[in-house]
Amino acid sequence: MTAALPIRQVEKPWGKDVLPAPFVAPEGERIGEIWFEPPAALPDLLVKYIFTSEKLSVQVHPSDAQTTAKGLGRQGKEECWLIVAAEPGATLGIGFDAPIGEEEMRKAARDGSIEGLMTWHEVVPGDFFYIPANTVHAIGVGVSLIEVQQNSDITYRLYDYGRPRELHLDEGMAVARGEVYDLARWHKRVPAEGNAVLVDGPLFLLDQVEGVPSPDIAARYPQALLIIPREGTVAIGGETVAPGGCGLATSLDEVEFAENGVCLLARACAD
């Protein structure tokens, strides 16, 4: 079994032709996303990098309970973002400046004023945001981030700046919460080095580790996990995985961590 997950580079009109190291965009292409194909051992998690030169759509995702109630199975999406690079003034739109009702939100989505009602958080490398299901959000210009999410492709676009793509106002209004984002609960500042618990369930775990994981972090990963090197390489079953990659380990026992390396560990939680 190959430890390094297959990579899929996705061109987007809002992507970038100059990417942060170690990535290099093919000549003439604007890369918006780099996906790591979810392995059979951990099918419920998707890891990707996102690079933006324009604002992404204002959107919302349903929860597992909502998709199950519609007969779609567990297809909800909660996600989180770790900023790895940001141009001056780069922002993320998450939640609203003040609570907003469904009809007002629908009207604002139709006329485009929803963008101005959202809270735009200026970001720098090391900012971390968890995005619960039902949270209205948009990624702004000049952002490069790592996204770890439930492996679902259900996205309801509420506003797309006039781009010729389908909107999903009825579906979106059925799940969107017109709430102020709880920054104190869902945002963290992650140092470039050191250990940090980033997500502690209930759907998945995500930790940053420097060097060999401490016993308390190692105890959180008793089985298969994903490893995303940030600084330095890791060896999984003797195979090297470098920054810009993502690897699958059947257990921590088969992983050799660089002494001064920094990486992310992730796994889905059991049902």
Give me the active site residues, please: 157
DSSP state of 180: -
**Alpha-carbon span 80 to 92, nearest angstrom:** 12
Report residue 38 as tokens: 């979810």
Kind of pairing, strands 156-159 and 58-60?
antiparallel
**Alpha-carbon span 260 to 192, nearest angstrom:** 12
**Alpha-carbon span 40 to 5, nearest angstrom:** 11
Report residue 214 as tokens: 């401490």
Report residue 82 as tokens: 């770790």
The DSSP annotation for 251-265 comes to -GGGEEE-TT-EEEE
**Alpha-carbon span 235 to 237, nearest angstrom:** 6
**Alpha-carbon span 194 to 113, nearest angstrom:** 41
Report the C-alpha dihedral over residues 133, 135, 139, 145, rounded to 10 degrees: -40
Three-state secondary-structure class, residue 98:
coil
Q: Count the neighbouring beta carbons within 10 Å of the beta carbon of residue 223.
A: 12
